[in-house]
Structure 1
């Protein structure tokens, strides 16, 4: 199998449109981690992503009869732009089916490269189904984003360049993974030419389809995938890609959204470039691998796979990067409601920088404060802060890993309302599109009174809502059916300590 893929990689037709991207040293990150970290800058491609390689190689391999029929694909991201540019260069008609929820900037980018855009459905599965119908109805040739040998071979040229650009010792190459086209191509080439080099996949914790498949020994379908790193939000690894990965990928590391944000900041600090969340996965994986294995003085490559990020998402990234770096702690502290309490609390904090402070009167006896404090993973870890506050007599709860606190509570701290009864708290995610919030509120408000609501646009494909409903005990059994009819993922947060401290009745 490897020999066949290597032959296809060596003869892949990608350089008519793709660039040989640099392998760039990340000096500051290298110093911090005690290893030489090299970034393969696929974000510098003409479409700001490696996807142009596989798309062009596949389309270039089509017969003249197939080219005359035109090509179609379903994609809301980098693959769409890759197919559009490849088809334009080869003089082929291209149709790209995109969900109606696709940000306008991406729709314009595809149209600017000469492709016809069809907006269909609210989510990718509907767009995919429509693109396949067009294959049947119009005779178009479908260009798969990852599960195709020619696409895999095109992506594998990334590995060919890495080994040519760095011919010395190389401990591991870290590869972001969604459907597996890139990591399959990289693994096939590296394990054939330099089998001693490790190939390590990196996935988000909530989109780990390759890790799940390798653990099960077969392809599995995730019931739900996280959308923060939308470039790798795939529920099932490809069939062709898994055939390579199951034998030639050494391991898969998963990382949190906060760790991805921190990696985006790391890349910016070293290159002054802004990558997309999926493009920063490999760097996040390297940091986790180095911390776990304690290796030193090794050469490690991270594939920076793309830079197609909406500008308005950067607010959220900046908020979460310090948490991902373990340089900020989010805590809830109870202090006596009397003169001098704030002063004693500040003395207990010491010289640490307070990044956020939220307070509202709670009772005559005590106050609950929501605080962000600067920490350092080695010089001043979070555990030391918690210990000092506890020893100073301040009950403290660590909310740094509490998603509800980080997404919503920090923006809502305002005290309790004793007039509210039978309140239940739920967190939702819904597709971000025009009218989505209104439709969601309309459906939600038809059952029970909404006693609290928080929504904040993060510039992402999904909206995040916190809603409190007044549900009598004898109607609790009706809640699951009502929410399932709305059709959005939800979590019961009624027992979340952040809610109980700051907002519950």
Structure 2
């Protein structure tokens, strides 16, 4: 089984090859969650993910004969970019097989690092099978994203750095897909600080590691905004390590992850993808579990599709009451819309959208339902707008 010396050796190989990312306290998140939160900014790596640690460690150990053959990997994006970038840096041929659902930003960045990208299958398992077949056919060295000790050792260097910067952390909360990151980090953390608690986080839609370790039978979904941890089969190398060295595994839902993405963007001014927000999502969903503790979170990736991000931000605004949809019933006479908009302006809200509904309503024929989408300061502000409209004789309510 992987040991701390393997991770220290990986750290020596990685020295000077990638960024030693900062690990700093977030005072605002600490106040909001009730625990002391330290963030490890792996989204600041050149490829915007911790994955290049494992990729670099693996490629650095290839024999001259293996280097001449080139490498192949399967990935939803972050491992792909890590392998492609370090293969390019080392002058190796790299072929990357990616599922068809992979966000375009990850596909294009992988191509930008000089890799040959093959889109195949709807799942990681299908992409993996195709990559294995190509490896055998073309004599390429297969670089697995998480089921390889060299990869796991590279990922474990994250914990070495975190505990060097913040030695008295008592809890690590780590996103789990195939288990490479948490297996490596748990190995390093438990060796350096045996009393530290290591907690894994999976999305409810892809609970493969939870099922493997806890013996549960949670159903697997087909998609998640945390596609970086959308793994149907955890790594065989990682399962025994997780079973022995990880203290707990938690599940979070899509809404928790969306909220965490928006909070990190708004509070920390840092962009993370769904998997990168999973740790904070766990703190938000289980605040009592972590209250009063010194918690290290890994912002493990920042590659997110801009259109998905726009949707998440908008939905977050709705949840916070800062984007609200209200209905106003009024007589369908000239001037009423102007009066309504003037009242909204008087309340300090901004109108985003206006829609008149005359046909699809149970109101009297002389009346109209006016639907407004408003930008507000929050739920209390929305209620102020409603009260002002109702006080002026209009029947208004939140939809």
TM class, shorter-length: 0.7 to 0.9
* Within-5 A mapping of 1:302-381: 302-322=297-317, 327=321, 360-361=357-358, 362-364=361-363
* Within-5 A mapping of 1:126-137: 126-137=126-137
Residue 6 of structure 1 is matched in structure 2 by 4
Give TM-score, length-normalised by structure 1: 0.64
**Are the equivalent residues in 2 in contact too, given 1:174–1:301 (CA < 8 A)?**
yes
How many pairs are equivalent? 376
Residue 174 of structure 1 is matched in structure 2 by 173
Instruction: Give, in angstroms, the shift of residue 254 of structure 1.
Output: 2.1
Instruction: Give, in angstroms, the shift of residue 132 of structure 1.
Output: 0.9
**Are the equivalent residues in 1 in contact too, given 2:224–2:230 (CA < 8 A)?**
yes
> For structure 2, which runs of at least 5 residues remain unmatched after alignment?
333-338, 340-346, 387-394
Residue 280 of structure 1 is matched in structure 2 by 277
Residue 183 of structure 1 is matched in structure 2 by 182
Q: Return the alpha-carbon distance in structure 2 between the equivalents of residues 327 and 189 of structure 1.
A: 43
* Within-5 A mapping of 1:10-49: 10-12=8-10, 13-49=13-49
Q: Return the alpha-carbon distance in structure 1 between the equivalents of residues 273 and 307 of structure 2.
A: 12
**Are the equivalent residues in 1 in contact too, given 2:159–2:185 (CA < 8 A)?**
yes
Give TM-score, length-normalised by structure 2: 0.80
Q: Return the alpha-carbon distance in structure 2 between the equivalents of residues 276 and 47 of structure 1.
A: 13
Residue 158 of structure 1 is matched in structure 2 by 158
Q: Return the alpha-carbon distance in structure 2 between the equivalents of residues 293 and 278 of structure 1.
A: 20
Distance 1:329 1:274, change over 3 A: closer
Listed one character per residue, the Cα deviations across residues 440-491 of structure 1 (whole Å, up to 9, x for unaligned) are xxxxxxxxxxxxxxxxxxxxxxxxxxxxxxxxxxxxxxxxxxxxxxxxxxxx
Q: Return the alpha-carbon distance in structure 2 between the equivalents of residues 127 and 9 of structure 1.
A: 29
Residue 336 of structure 2 is matched in structure 1 by none
Residue 239 of structure 1 aligns to a residue in which SS? coil
Listed one character per residue, the Cα deviations across residues 77-118 of structure 1 (whole Å, up to 9, x for unaligned) are 000010111212222221112244544433332222222223
**Are the equivalent residues in 2 in contact too, given 1:286–1:300 (CA < 8 A)?**
no
**Are the equivalent residues in 2 in contact too, given 1:225–1:235 (CA < 8 A)?**
no
Listed one character per residue, the Cα deviations across residues 229-277 of structure 1 (whole Å, up to 9, x for unaligned) are 1111111222111111122222222222222222122212333221112
Distance 1:250 1:358, change over 3 A: farther
> For structure 1, which runs of at least 5 residues remain unmatched after alignment?
344-350, 386-393, 400-505
Instruction: Give, in angstroms, the shift of residue 8 of structure 1.
Output: 0.7
Distance 1:114 1:354, change over 3 A: closer
Residue 201 of structure 1 is matched in structure 2 by 200
Listed one character per residue, the Cα deviations across residues 173-222 of structure 1 (whole Å, up to 9, x for unaligned) are 111111111111111111222122211112222122222222217xx795
Match for residue 291 of structure 2 among 281, 284, 295? 295
Cα RMSD for the two superposed structures: 3.7
Residue 79 of structure 2 is matched in structure 1 by 79
Residue 118 of structure 1 aligns to a residue in which SS? strand
- Residue 232 in 1 paired to residue 233 in 2? no
